[in-house]
Structure 1
Amino acid sequence: MQHAGKTDIFFDLDHTIWDFEKNAAETLMELFDTYRFNSFGIASATVFIDTYNRNNHRLWALYHHGKITKAELRVARFADTFREFGVDPKWFPTAFEEDYLRLCPQKTNLFPHAHETLAHLQQKYTLHLISNGFGDASETKVTACDLKKYFSTIVISEVVGFHKPHPKIFHHAVGNANTTITNSVMIGDSLDADIRGAQNVGMDAIYFNPNNAEVPPDVKQSINTLEELKQLF
């Protein structure tokens, strides 16, 4: 399916352009040694990271829908992970989470072909970001990875007060971009927040599916790599 008539492409940031799991894993590998996690009976950094990723995904889904706050998410993703290993979170140094929040957004691992694909698309389309990430962290990521030059507008849910999939953030982003729903397409990794959120306001959407998960029947188009967008647009 070619996207005739489109003028504006909206991207998600985390898990779509910025490789959250790779950057988080790098950060936690470093901190695992710094804070001697093994002294708490946690066998390996890999096991900790896998458990953290599972909890983080679950909690972000709740955050998308306003079920928990930013502060609750930040506390629970590590607290719940430590509890799974039988470690009372209150015994773990508070500086650990501060270090994680400082170091992780500075990591610069992007999904393959991110820069070349964005540069290619920018020649013919106006590009934008809509992120459910936190404002301070998102700004750091975009700056550290030299991504700002591609995007005409950047909408952060924490700043505007609505999270994807809420219709208001899509309408806000489209208005902020001075374009229309019809002329726009959303690209993201979250079926709930990005794809169905966009489809629910009448916007075309492309599911970024790097892990080759099963694609539900209501999702009209999916890609496994960013590079595929060069053929679609």
Structure 2
Amino acid sequence: MIKHIFFDLDHTIWDFDRNAQETLLELYEAYELKALGLHSAQDFIDRYTENNHQLWAKYHLGEITKETLRTERFRNTFLELGVSPELVPQQFEDDYVRISPTKTHLFAGAEKVLTYLQKKYQLHIISNGFKETTLTKMEVSGLNPYFTQVIISEDVGVNKPNKAIFEHALAKAAAEKQESIMIGDSLEADIRGAQAFGLSAIFFNPLNVEKPADVTWQISNLEELLNHF
């Protein structure tokens, strides 16, 4: 009997890629990146997205630090696109981190689903996102009223998929494993992390990538949750 639902935030409720794209288009113009030889804003965004996803995967596993992620994701992107090291904009990362969390695009159906679920369950967030940006996203997107506990990896000292963060989250929520479930987009951090801890999990798969055999439950749209809870 499920009583507690734990959600990931980025790429699950808060539409990270859409919000990032909107921010990067603004910064592309503000920094006049075309003058640096970057003639396609979309090529810049695509290369950044690839680099960012790779670095976040390493961060989830504790292979790199927050500082390394933030230092490398844009620097690598500029260098790979042919910008000379001395011309790489030094404040670009700071401006991105300042602006992006203020964007408010959520995945389709998020507010409808959360409103419905909140009436029947206690809802919580478990995020590997950085603390200051996570809190900003929650506030400006109007998400705080839906969630009882917001567990952020920086506060806990470990990231998903480490079992310790799930143990901490259940303790904060006063929840038991058998009455809890995790919903997230990351196979490694959210799904396999939860499963290794003994927690049921739902894979949020809006891109409809091939489902691994060890993943038993997936959805491609948040509104599918209305049929299950």
Q: Name the TM-score, length of structure 2 as normaliser.
A: 0.98
From 184, 189, 193, the equivalent of 1:188 is: 184
1:13 aligns with 2:36: no
Instruction: Quote how far apart the aligned CAs of 1:93 are.
Output: 2.5
2:65 pairs with one of 66, 69, 85: 69
User: Which residue does 1:175 correspond to in 2?
Assistant: 171
**CA drift at 1:138:** 0.1
Paired with 2:172 and 2:124, the residues of 1 have a C-alpha distance of 10
Partner of 2:74: 78
Corresponding residue for 1:140?
136
Q: Residues 214-233 of structure 1: matches in 2 within 5 Å?
A: 214-233=210-229
Provide structure 1 residue ranges, at least 5 long, that are not aligned to the other structure.
Answer: none
2:75, 2:88 within 8 Å by CA — same for their partners in 1?
Answer: no
**Deviation of 1:43 (Å):** 1.8
Q: Which residue of 2 aligns with 1:152?
A: 148
SS in structure 2 of the partner of residue 62 of structure 1: helix
For structure 2, list consecutive stretches of 5 or more residues without a partner in the other structure.
Answer: none
Equivalent position of 2:27 in the other structure: 31
Q: Deviations over 1:76-115 (max 9, x none)?
A: 1101111111113442222222111100000000000000
Give secondary structure in 2 for the equivalent of 1:67.
coil
Pairs within 5 Å for 1:58-137 = 58-137=54-133
The amino acid of 2:96's aligned partner reads Y
Tell me, yes or no, if structure 1 residue 163 matches structure 2 residue 153: no
May I ask how many residue pairs the two structures share in their alignment?
Answer: 229
Question: Could you give the per-residue CA deviations for residues 26-68 of structure 1, whole angstroms, max 9, x where no partner exists?
Answer: 0000000110111111121111001100000000000001111
Tell me the C-alpha RMSD between the 2 structures. 0.8
SS at match of 1:129: strand
Query: Which whole-Å CA distance do the structure 1 matches of 2:115 and 2:28 have between them?
Result: 37
Tell me the residue number matched to 2:43. 47
The CA distance in 1 between the partners of 2:6 and 2:30, in whole Å, is: 38
- Cα distance in 2, alignment partners of residues 53 and 88 from structure 1: 20
Distance 2:179 2:168 in 1: 15
Aligned amino acid, residue 101 of structure 1: V
Q: Which contiguous aligned blocks of 4+ residues in structure 1 show a shift greater than 3 angstroms?
A: none
Distance in 2, Cα, partners of 1:193 & 1:17: 16
Give the TM-score normalised by structure 1. 0.97
Aligned counterparts of 1:181 and 1:162: Cα–Cα separation in 2: 19
In 1, distance between residues paired with 2:149 and 2:86? 41
Q: Deviations over 1:174-221 (max 9, x none)?
A: 011001111110000000000000000110000000011100000010
Give the Å deviation of 1:152. Answer: 0.4
Secondary structure at 1:94 match in 2:
coil
Secondary structure in 2 matching 1:200: helix
* C-alpha distance in 2 between matches for 1:161 and 1:43: 41
